[in-house]
Every structure is written in structure tokens, then in C-alpha cells.
A and B are shown apart, each in its own frame.
Chain A
Amino acid sequence: MNYFKISYRMLRRDWRAGELNVLVLALIIAISGLTTVAFFADRVESALARESNQLLGADLLVISNQPLPEHYADKASQLELVVSSVTKFPSMISNSDSSLLAEIKAVTEGYPLRGHVYLMSGSPEKLMEPSKAQSAGKIPQPGTIWVDEKVRMQLNLNSGDSVDVGAIQLVVTEFIEREPDHSVGFINMGPRVMINAADLAATDLIHQGSRISYNLLVAGDVKKVQQFRDWAKSQLTKIQRIEGIRDARPEIKAALERAEKFLNLAALASVVLAAAAIALAVRRFTQRHLDACAVMRSLGASQKYLLYLYLYYFVILGVIASGLGCMIGFVAQEILAHWLTGIVDTALPWPSWLPAFQGLLVGLVLLVGFALPPVLNLRSVPALRVLRRDIGLSNAHSITGYLLGLIALSLLFIWKAQDFKLGLFVVGGFIVAIAVFSCFGWLLIKILSSIRHQAGGAWRYGLASIRRRAASSVLQAVALGLGLMALLVLTLIQEDLINDWHASLPPKAPNHFLVNIQPNQLEPLEEFFQHHNIQSPVMHPMVRGRLIKINGKKVSPKDYADDLHAERHIRREFNLSWTNKITTDNEIVQGKWWDNDTTDAVISIEEGIAKTIRVKLGDELTYDIAGSHFSAKITSIRKVDWDSFRVNFFVVVPPGLLEDYPANYITSFYLAPTEISMIHELVRAFPNILVVDVAIVINQVQQMIRQVSQAIEFVFLFTILAGFAVLYAAIASTQDERIYEAAIFRALGAKKEQLSRAWAAEFAILGGLAGLFASAGATLLGYVISKHVLHFDYTFNPWIWLIGTIVGIIGVLVAGLLGTRSAISSPPLLTLRKIG
């Protein structure tokens, strides 16, 4: 039997007759919202992956502090991968005037394999304009050297000048504006020069024990790179490691992840609303299909036949509506991408098909989960209905039918929110809300209808009408309440989120760091700042120490052999600092911050590092600081907001414990772009101080916050539309009843105005109920999500109750009266004939 053909015909006709408007609209809104975000996230993700490759200068690095054996390069060549090598080490360089410590980078032909080295050209004034930078497309010739801005300033170099590098003299030919692997971490941000690897031996700087990093750069086909990585992993010795695509831009990635989480949440809210709209719309659908099913039953259709018929019907409908949704989503994400240009440096790559596939899947889940269950009841419609129209379905409101849909929706949430907790909170919130709203709705309707005799005119009729349709009134109030709740929660959280972001990175966030300040430079530096009318920033002391014991037990990198990240932390030195003041970007998550006058040897440690090196509150850590041992107990664990661009430390102790150890200082401050010349003076006055300029990154993040706020508002549009779909579906679900009711009332002599007033009263009561539900739900859900998921303080907003209730009353009243206008104005006889 050709189910498909008949299903398709039924669908086509229903579609044309406008029977599917609400269903299709709800689906399209939900799917387009969801796919907009998914398509966009997909593009950004691949752009970020590509960009981090560029920052690495390659797809993969093999790094060692000894020359790398030939077989790595050989294997890479075998796999048709391109290779190049970079040797990096710190050394003094000088000219006739002065000298400074710089990082020397000796490169071979082909460097960089990914990304570009940008060179500056023209006069020094133009050098500050990045737009003038040109991609080099080559490497320094033997006998020449390329220097960066810091070296140029400190050695006062011009093109053609000579620089001493170890035993040889090289001629400056180019100035580097930007290069790959430049912005990864502070340490790389010191003065840098680039030479040809052919000159390396002649410098005579390569000795046993020098701090040298040998890098083999590998790039090529993704699969082959992976193949190489797998092979190389088995070859690595203790001193060798692999670095691949990684979070080269943690601050941007963190902000984007948070944005994506919220965008997804907003899109998912529209999915939940769509589910509610579909569940409402399908009631009317079922009523309208009763006759057709009864006729088919009387003509000999089996239950199985009807089951397949409607299954096909909804699958076809789902594919078409979701397909349309995906298309709209695709167009909308272009708009989103247009707004968000600049978040990633490179042009966004074409999105993959995965989001479209997800969209189709979600559309089908929504329909099959929320529309099909009640429709499937149709197959048990009594065939006797062909003779007696008053016979309908007995179990039209089966809750259990929706269980499948609810489960599917929950899984969808947890998957899309990429956060089990967030997904669970939202789904749980909606389920609890449905249950509580239903109970309260029922109770309130009972109470209200018991006092209806005290009410006058239209109100009495409105209340009577609500009581008569108690079940559908509760359903309507709950659905409307959910719709409003989602809108209120999102509005509240969105505002908080955006404010929180702006607050985390105010316009004057520190954009310059000074590193390696010596104790005797503190006063001169302060004077320097005063001289330039800049408030002297707080200088944070820093002592370098290596962790050697935990609870008296010696630790060695070997203990962390299974965790490279931890191993590196044990191997290298930590920066320890002291202070009595805990800054706003630090939050104590365990234990207690010390009293100002404490003399105890205590430590406050950052949450992440504590987890990595596996220590907890109460553990005693011993550090080797310049040959002597320092022990202290962990009394607090801090969560640090690394996005704040302020100076922060993994390990902090109270003042008075580390002052005797050799320390240097670090600080950060804001400098307006117009005052940039101050940096030149500072570098000249304090040649040993390393200046790190993060203005570009800060600007980028601030720009991003602005853009993401816009994006959120854009995606929010879909949620609002979905909210309206619910409103429309709720009103439309009782439309047929109302048309019939209106016809009878008018046949009995009621005036149009009387009917409108009575219905207005009914809608106002329903809207008020929905508004109350929504305010209560939004307050609670907003609190839970802010506090436990997005992690910012929730401020109770009493206005929400007033706003929610008023919006509920007005929204439902307006939509209800508009929706029932035709019911009131159509001639009663026509209606009665049509229905009879």
C-alpha cells in the first residue's frame, strides 16, 4: 500500500488549507534558530582551529632541548609532509652603543609552514601602523638579521646597521611586525630577532647546556599529520614533546565558548517553546482529522494503516519544515557572521553540513515526540463517528504520550548545551514548571470559579468559560506561562551576562605588562609614572621556586609521567607572590583567606593548578627557592578569572615570608593609544624591563564582547518569535470551539460586543495566570542558571513580577482578541451549518 502517496496528498491539502500553519511555523522558528547558532559555531570553530595552526607556524611541532634526530624529518618527508626547522635560544645581542637580551630564532627555508611573517616597511612613524605590514614570503638571507620593534628601539637600529650575534656580525635588513608563535604566552613576548639557520654554527652560541629549543615544524594533509603524530608519539624521549593545535588564544576561546553556550541556550529555549506550540497545535489537528480517520476505519483501514499514514505524514512534514528552517538558519548565520567579523582574524570557512543534519534531526524529534503521540490516538477513533459525529476520542490529553518527546528533548538539551549541568537545569526547570504550573492552575481556576457569582457581567461569563474548559484552560495557561518564562529568563540573563562581560573588561583594562622589574627600580619607576601623570600601578613581587615536596614527600616529574601538563609544572619553576589583599578577580572556593596580621606559613593556590598537581586543602607544599627550602600549608583554594588581564598568580602567600629571597616585580597598567611614546622612553630608561603590549588582544576581546552581545540579541529574536508561536497556538487551539460557541450565542441573541467583552475577560484572566507562573518560574530558573551555570551573581528583580503579569495580560488579551475576531464576525448560520 502506498502510504507515502496518501500521506503526501493529505499533507499537501492540509498545508494549502492553512491547517498546518502553527505546526510549521513553530518548527521553522525552532530549527532556524538552532541551525543559525550551529552553523555559525561550526564556522568559528574551524576558523579557530586553523588560526591556532597559524599561530603555531605549523600543524605540529616536535620540540626538544637537544638537536632532533634525523628520523623525525625523514618520516615526515616519507608521509609527504612539509617540514622546516626553528632553533630558538636567548642570547645577548649588541651594537656599538648598547646590548640587550633577545630571543634568537634561526629558521630554515619554508618557515613558517602556516601563517606569515609580517614585515614593516617605510619610515619609523609608519611602523606603528599594522596595516602597512607586508607578508615577508621569505626568510633572512645568510649574513642578515631581522629584528622586531623592541630590538629596533633599544639598539636604535636602522636598515643596514650591523648587530653582533655571538661571534659574527649580521646586517639588519628588515623589521618584523608580527610573526607566528608570537602571542603564545608572555615569555615569547620579549625582544626577538630572526636569522638564517645557515649562520647558526658561526655564531658559536650553541654549547652544551645552553637553553636551546629545537623545533621541527610539520604541516600537510590532516590525516597524514595525525599519522605522523601517532608515529612520533611512540618515538619521543623524555626531552622531546609534541605540540599540536591547541588553545593558542585562551582568552578569546573562553569568551567565545561562553557566548556559544548562551547562544545555544537561547536557541534551545526556542526549541522548548516550539515543542509547547506543537503540543498545543496538534490538539486542533487531531480534532480536524477525526472524521477522516473514522471514514478510513469504516472503509476498512487497519490501525496499523493509520499509524503508518501519520508517521509518514509527520516525517514528510518534519523534513520539509526543518529543511526550510535549516535554509533560514543558513541565511541568518551569514548575517550573524557579518556582524561578528573580526572575532577571528581569518575569513570564516564554509560551514559543514553537520548543523543542517542536526536541524533535521531536531525537527523530526520535535514532531515525532510532541505531535505524533496525540495523533496516534487517532487510529483508535471509533469508526461509528461516521454515523454519530458526537463520538470523539476518549484519551485526547494523554500525558504519557509526551514522555518520549520529553526524554528526547532532555537529551537534545544536554547534548547541545555541551554542559550536562546546564542541560539538566533547563530541562528540569521546564518539567518542574509544567508540573507546578498545572497544579496551581487547576487550583486557581477552581478558586476563581467558585467566586464567579460575586463577579459582574463579562467577568462572570469569562470565569464560567474558563471553568467549562478547565483542562484546556490549564493547558493554555501553562503553555503561555512557559513561553513567557523563557522570554523573561533570557531577557534577565542576557542583560546580566552582557553587563558582567563589560564589567570584566572595562574600557581602561590594563593593556601593558611590565615584567622583570628589579627591587631597586621600584622607586624610580614610580617617579617615572608620576612624571608622566599616570597613577603608579601596584607592583606585584615575584619569587621563583620549584615544587619539591608535597606533605614532606619528595615529588619528581616522574610521579606525573601520565600527565604531561602536570609533569611540566613540576619540572619548571613557579612564580610565588605575596599579598594581603585578595582582588576581585580571585574567588575563594575552598578554605579561608588569611588575616592581615598572620605570620603563619600558609599558601593560597589556584584551583586548576591544585587539581593538576593533585593537592588539596591542608597539604603542605615545599619549594626550592634559590637553593633554600620554603614550606607552607594550603589554607585556601582560589578560582581566578584569567580573562581579566590583571596580574595573577598560581601560588600566593602572606607578606613577611618570602621577602628575604631574591625577587623581581611585575605590574600591569592602562595606557591610552595616544600616549604610546611613553613606552619608548620607559624602554630606554629601564632597558632590563620587559614591556608586554596586550592592547591588540584587549581590543579584540572588547570588540568581541560588543559583537557577541549583538549576536545574542539577534538569536533572541528567534526565541521571541517562538514565544509568539506558543501564544498563537494556544489561542488557535480553542478556536473551533469558540467559533461554534459564538455562533450559538449569537443565534440566541448575544451581541458581538457582549461576546468580545466576555472573551476579553477570559483572556485577561488566562494571561494574568500565565504571567504569574512565568514570573515565578523565571525568578527561580534565572537564579539557578546565573548562580550555578554561568557563574555570576543574581540580583533579584522585583519588577519581573509586575512586568511578567502585565505582559501576560496584555499579550494574551491582544493575541486572543485578534485570533477570535473572525469567530465573532462570521455569520452564525454559516458556522452552524458547517459544523453541524
Chain B
Amino acid sequence: MLDDFVEQPILRTDSLTKRVNTGNEQLTILQDINLEVNAGEAVAIIGASGSGKSTLLGLLAGLDLPTIGKVHLDNIDIFTLDEDSRAALRGRILGFVFQSFQLLPALTAIENVMLPLELTAASDVEAVARRLLDRVGLAKRLHHYPKQLSGGEQQRVAIARAFATDPKLLLADEPTGNLDSASGIQIIELMFELNREHGTTLVLVTHDEALSRRCSRQIRLADGKLVQ
């Protein structure tokens, strides 16, 4: 079944370049990035601190604008869309897992998971959220607020939230960066399991070589350039 997705590029970049002005000189953060990610793939973007990993992830998600270049997400040239349409597109096909979890402190675990579903006006919102939280092992923590949960538990909620809308592409930014190694391993296992179950494409940013080896492909960034 998974084979149906293989070899279909869900993500493609054309000459993606990002420069920023720092006073009187221009700094190139990303230069001429061309890459393709096919549906069902698990790709790790690796590189040292400051190599441009997070900037690339931001551009892939349409959270930031490039200086030059394009990003095609599910065959849509996302930078031809305005910010609101990009947001809507994100809501439809993207899921996120962040290093710092980024749960809304005002909402309980289940409410956090329900949020992206509510944004897309999905039906049966609560049942889906409940099922996912059950799946990540938090059936008993549904009504806890983020600050009442441990780091590992918070990241589980974040993973459940990321899969709530059944995204085509999951973007993860150093998902274990804020966790101790034991919790980190559990989180990675969980993420890959869910990725398989949902047939989601995964793009993961990390500087952890061991984690990157779990992916089917590694893309290395150095000084803003792709190093094959």
C-alpha cells in the first residue's frame, strides 16, 4: 500500500536561497537549495549549529519567505499564495513537531490536539483527539494542562496534535532536543510508528546522527549549502 506513494514528490524546492541584511553586509543563510522529497519518505536534514537547518524547515513550511527560489508543496507553489492561504495549506497538509513542544498553555492536552482539527472545521473533533492521545499513551492525561505534564508527555501531546489532521507531510524540528535521552528514544519510536501507520512523509531536522540514521535518506547542510 505504501508503494502507491513512493516516487511521487510531495515536496520540491527550486534554487531556494535566503539572505538577510545585517547592517551593511548581506549574509547568505541558504544558497541554491534544490531538493525533492517523495511521498512516504523519511528524510533527515542534518548539519551543525548555524548551518541553516531551521531556516530551511521554516521555508519548507511556508513560515518564512525566501530571497529567491520556490517551494512546491503537494504540487502547489506556496510562495504565490498569500500568508493566510499558506496558513490554510499548512492546516490541511502539514503537521509540526517542535523542539520546545509549543503547546498552548491555555488549553488542556485534548484541547491542544483538537485545535488544528477545529481550525480545519473537521467533524468528530473530540473523538479523533481522544483516540490519538490514547495512541500516544496519554489516555489518562486528557484534561491536564501542559505545565502539569512532563517534557516527554508534552512532546507526546505535540505528536498527537501533529497527526490529528492526518497530514501528508510531517515536519519535525529537533524533536528530542529538549528531552533527556530515555524520553528522547521513546518519542522517536512513537513518531516513527505513527508515521508508518499514517503513511506520512517525514522531514526531520536534527544534529543527532543516530536519529538521522533512522531515516531513509539524509541531507546534509553546511554553511547554507547542500552537501551530498
Contacts and interface: CB of A to CB of B under 8 A. Distances in A.
B111 interface: yes
A295 B102 contact: yes
Contact of B87 (A17, A383, A384, A386): A383
A295 B87 CA distance: 11
B91 A301 contact: yes
Contacts of A303: 83-84, 87
B27 interface: no
A295 B97 CA distance: 11
Size bracket, chain A contacts: 20 to 34
A305 B100 CA distance: 24
Nearest to A305: B119
Contacts of A300: 87-92, 94, 116, 119-120
Interface in B72-105: 83-84, 87-92, 94, 96, 98, 100, 102-105
Contact of A299 (B91, B106, B111, B121): B91
B63 A382 contact: yes
A299 B171 CA distance: 12
Interface in B48-69: 54, 57-58, 61, 63-64
Nearest to A10: B106
A835 to B, nearest CB: 11
Interface in A1-53: 1-2, 6, 9-10, 12-14, 17
Contacts of A10: 104, 106-107
A384 B103 CA distance: 15
B208 interface: no
B118 interface: yes
Contacts of B54: 387-388
Contact of B102 (A9, A305, A386): A386
A152 interface: no
Nearest to B84: A302
A355 to B, nearest CB: 34
B19 to A, nearest CB: 16
A831 interface: no
A295 B107 CA distance: 13
Contacts of B111: 9
A386 B98 contact: yes
Given A13-B106, A13-B145, A298 B63 contact: yes
B204 to A, nearest CB: 14
Contacts of A12: 106
B173 interface: yes
A559 B51 CA distance: 94
B107 to A, nearest CB: 6
B33 interface: no
Contact of A9 (B64, B83, B107, B119): B107
Interface in B96-138: 96, 98, 100, 102-107, 111, 115-116, 118-121
Nearest to A380: B83
A14 B96 contact: no
Contact of B58 (A291, A292, A388): A388
Interface in A382-409: 382-384, 386-389
A283 interface: no
A564 to B, nearest CB: 65
Nearest to B100: A389
Contacts of A508: none
A296 interface: yes
Given A382-B64, A386-B98, A387-B98, A301 B119 contact: yes
18 contacts: A1-B119, A6-B118, A9-B107, A9-B111, A14-B106, A291-B102, A292-B104, A292-B106, A299-B96, A300-B94, A303-B87, A304-B84, A382-B64, A384-B58, A386-B63, A386-B96, A387-B54, A387-B173
